[in-house]
Amino acid sequence: MHSANKPFQARVAANGSFLSIKINNIKLLDYWGLGMDNAVDNLFEALFALTDLRVLLRETAPLHKLSAEQQMQAREALARAKAALSKLEEELQE
């Protein structure tokens, strides 16, 4: 059941030839065989991480005073984005 206090969260993750779709942490689909390029995977992973950060900032607007848990979530989202962008940069240099 969707809580009025918790925003609806959908997550699509692609890794190589694997696709996973979750809504509010409920797995809806796992699919093998997409054959996506690693660069595209890393681009989308970075975008998903930045979207997680954007949602966090929207939840705390207008002052953006983050709780300790929210600060941890923000750091994790930034780390995921940085890691994915680093991998993307490596892919594009090859």
The tally of CA atoms less than 13 A away on the side-chain side of residue 45 is: 23
What confidence score (pLDDT) does residue 1 get?
A: 43
60 or 94: which leads in pLDDT: 60
Q: What is the pTM of this model?
A: 0.61
Is the pLDDT assigned to residue 85 strictly greater than 90? yes
Tokens of 62: 């207008």
SS3 of residue 33 by DSSP: coil
What confidence score (pLDDT) does residue 35 get?
A: 43
What confidence score (pLDDT) does residue 44 get?
A: 87
Contact 9, 21 (CB under 8 A): no
For 11-32, write each residue's pLDDT tens digit: 666 665 566 666 666 655 555 5
